[in-house]
Amino acid sequence: MSGFLLNRLVQSIVLLVIVSIIGFTVLNLMPGGPLAQFGLDPGMSQQDVQRLTAQLGLDRPLWIQYLDWAWRLVRGDWGHSFRDGSSVLAVIGRHLLATLLLMGTSTALAIAAGTWIGIRGATHRYSLFDYCATVGAMVALSVPTFWFGLIGIYIFTLKLGWVPAGNMYTIGDGSVPDYLHHLILPSLVLSLVHVAIWSRYMRTATLDALSQDFVKTARAKGVSERRILLKHVVGNALLPMITLAGMQLPSILTGALVTETVFTWPGMGRLFLDSLGYSDYPVVMGLLIFSAMLVLLGNLIADIVIATVDPRIRLA
């Protein structure tokens, strides 16, 4: 196990370096830049802009800028936002909880509902339920999320008035019921597409497990169908799903660009869009590295979980 972990750590570092180089390069290839917004500002002279450029270190060659940034990162300094000067980690911290709340809720919903729909679809294959689940998943996958968001707001906020249209809490309230009230619509909308994906995978995995010989063995032993499903089928069907869950993990913390924007949710997704708009390079790079680390971490956790639950890997 330790050899495996060491191996993965080396791989992860190499990947992080590659991702950061690509991200840094692409970011700097974009026209404009952090100071472009001052170009038309009559209050800013050419000298002011040049002074600022030098102050931020943007006049140095790109590779020096990268090495400087990377070296600081290694020492734990993620840099400071161009916008308000606060440290990048603090900026991320301010948005992380909001995203965690939204994405955590919607992912939990999606996994619970997707697992149930998938298993039921497989055990009642070609039934009305299965057809509806299949068609529903197709619709959820092919219709863009923002459309669901807008339709949701139209129906449940404007017409029915059940839920608020956006934001995470009512200013001046901020009680737990208030948070939950704001959470309902965005988390449901977000979970739609994940339910679709998860239920399709779960259905396939369950069908696969159901067709295995050991299920027939269990039947021949006189084990009840219910126990066969719980003890023999679901366990084996969930194994391949762990990898999928691992891939889901990063998005729990990096948020959803579109949904957070539609519902003006103060999470990481919106932070990323805003920072891009302001050319706030340190924050954008910080988010990029943060999500790349999460992707690697998610995969690592999935592999470790699989290795723990599957005796073939644990003991091999």
Partner 1 sequence: MTSAPQPVASEDVVLAVRDLTVSLPAGMERAHAVENVSFELRRGQILCIIGESGSGKSVTANAIMGLLPRSIRVSSGAIRLEGMDLVGRSPERLRDLRGRVVSMIFQDPLSALNPLMTVGAQIEEVMAAHGVGTPKSRRGRAMELLIEVGLPDPPLMYHQYPFRLSGGQRQRVMIAMALALEPTILIADEPTTALDVTTQAQILHLIRDIQRRKGMSVMFITHDFGVVAEIADSVVVMEKGHCVEQGSAEQVLKSPSHLYTRRLIAAVPHLTGKDRVPAEAAAPSPVLKVEGLVKTYRSGSALFGRQRIVPAVNGASFDLSPGRTLGVVGESGSGKSSLGRVLIKLLDSDSGSILFEGRDIARLSEAEFRPLRPKIQMIFQDPFASLNPRSTVGQILTVGPIAHGVPHKLACEQARELLAHVGLDAGTFDRYPHEFSGGQRQRIGIARALMFKPKLLIADEAVSALDVSIQAQILKLLDQVQRETGVSMVFITHDLRVASQICDEIAVMHRGQIVEHGPPSQIFLNPKSAYTRELVAAIPGAQQSSARSAGSQSTLAGHSHK
DSSP 165: S
Q: How far is the CB of 202 from partner 1 (least distance, A)?
A: 17
Instruction: Say if residue 310 is exposed, middle or buried (CB neighbours under 10 Å; 0-12, 13-18, 19+).
Output: middle
Q: How far is the CB of 11 from partner 1 (least distance, A)?
A: 11
Q: How far is the CB of 311 from partner 1 (least distance, A)?
A: 4
Measured from the CB atom, the residue of 158 and 220 that comes closer to partner 1 is 220
CB neighbour list of residue 173: distance below 8 Å, 6 or more residues apart: none
Taking CB under 8 A as the criterion, which residues in 3-62 touch partner 1? 3-4, 6-7
**Which ranges of the chain would DSSP assign to H, the alpha helix?**
2-29, 46-56, 62-74, 88-123, 128-142, 145-152, 176-210, 213-220, 225-227, 234-254, 257-262, 268-277, 281-309, 311-314
Instruction: Say if residue 33 is exposed, middle or buried (CB neighbours under 10 Å; 0-12, 13-18, 19+).
Output: middle
C-alpha–C-alpha distance, residues 266 and 261, integer Å: 8
**The dihedral of CA 246, 250, 255, 256: what is its sign?**
negative
* Residue that is written with structure tokens 């969930």 in the block: 238
| Among 150, 170, 160, residue whose Cα is nearest residue 261 | 150
Taking CB under 8 A as the criterion, which residues in 200-239 touch partner 1? 212-214, 216-224, 227, 231-232, 235-236, 239
Residue 309 binds to partner 1 (criterion: CB under 8 A): yes
The 250-289 contact track toward partner 1, x by CB under 8 A, reads ----------------------------------------
Measured from the CB atom, the residue of 40 and 220 that comes closer to partner 1 is 220
Q: How far is the CB of 223 from partner 1 (least distance, A)?
A: 4
Q: How far is the CB of 59 from partner 1 (least distance, A)?
A: 43
The 157-176 contact track toward partner 1, x by CB under 8 A, reads --------------------
Q: How far is the CB of 169 from partner 1 (least distance, A)?
A: 44
Residue 310 binds to partner 1 (criterion: CB under 8 A): yes
Measured from the CB atom, the residue of 73 and 215 that comes closer to partner 1 is 215
Q: Which residues bind partner 1 (CB under 8 A)?
A: 3-4, 6-7, 212-214, 216-224, 227, 231-232, 235-236, 239, 309-312, 315-316
